[in-house]
């Protein structure tokens, strides 16, 4: 158990339970398969004011240069899409985030929309605090889950690319 600051006072916070890693990886595999088998008709849903959505992110591999894909949760912040580089709340950085750090240009597919070209960057300072608070509004225990990671969980902003 660790302590965090909430509303100006120190509080105890527990790490929420997670399923075994093999189950998380299997869920990712099945999710991508459903998306692929249905030609994109299933597997994505739009973000709503009170719930995050899912997007299909396509990056360039940092070492291989090959196309890499991931399905991620997101919410909209004006014209930007915001996601967490969480890797299923495991400590290593997710490969897609490492790829974006090397090659920030990418594409995203959202439910019912055409593919968007985006450029990635990490949120910092006040912007990071504001966007982290938005994730909290969805009812997910992002603070508790982030305590499971050895480092800070990056908030990734995907801005429209020119």
**What does the chain come to in residues?**
162
**Per-residue confidence of the chain (162 residues) as pLDDT tens digits?**
444 444 444 345 667 676 777 777 778 788 778 887 877 778 899 999 999 999 999 999 999 999 999 999 999 999 999 999 987 666 788 999 999 999 999 999 999 888 999 999 999 999 999 999 998 888 777 777 777 777 888 999 999 998
Look at residue 43 in the predicted model and tell me its pLDDT: 84
Q: Structural domain of residue 123, as residue ranges?
A: 2-160
Question: By the 8 A CB rule, do 29 and 22 touch?
Answer: no
Tell me, what DSSP letter sits at residue 14? P
Look at residue 119 in the predicted model and tell me its pLDDT: 98
The candidate with the shortest Cα–Cα distance to 143, out of 18, 54, 13, is: 13
Look at residue 159 in the predicted model and tell me its pLDDT: 98
Look at residue 127 in the predicted model and tell me its pLDDT: 96
The candidate with the shortest Cα–Cα distance to 92, out of 153, 143, 32, is: 153
Give the CATH number, domain containing residue 131.
2.30.110.10
Say if strands 9-13 and 80-85 run parallel, antiparallel, or are unpaired. unpaired
Look at residue 40 in the predicted model and tell me its pLDDT: 77
Look at residue 91 in the predicted model and tell me its pLDDT: 74
The structural domain count of the chain equals 1
Strands (E), 16-136: 53-60, 67-77, 80-85, 105-110, 116-122
């Amino acid at each position: 158990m660790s302590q965090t600051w909430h509303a100006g006072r120190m509080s105890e916070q527990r790490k929420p339970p997670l399923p075994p890693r093999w189950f998380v990886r299997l869920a990712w595999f099945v999710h991508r398969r459903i998306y692929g088998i249905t030609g994109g008709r299933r597997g994505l849903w739009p973000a709503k004011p009170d719930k995050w959505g899912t997007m299909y992110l396509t990056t360039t591999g940092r070492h291989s240069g090959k196309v890499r894909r991931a399905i991620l949760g997101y919410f909209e912040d004006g014209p930007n899409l915001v996601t967490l580089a969480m890797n299923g709340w495991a400590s290593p950085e997710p490969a897609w985030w490492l790829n974006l750090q090397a090659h920030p240009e990418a594409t995203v597919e959202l439910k019912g929309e055409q593919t968007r070209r985006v450029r990635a960057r990490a949120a910092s300072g006040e912007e990071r605090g504001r966007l982290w608070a938005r994730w909290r509004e969805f009812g997910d225990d992002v603070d508790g889950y982030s305590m499971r990671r050895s480092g800070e969980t990056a908030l990734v902003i995907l801005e429209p690319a020119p």
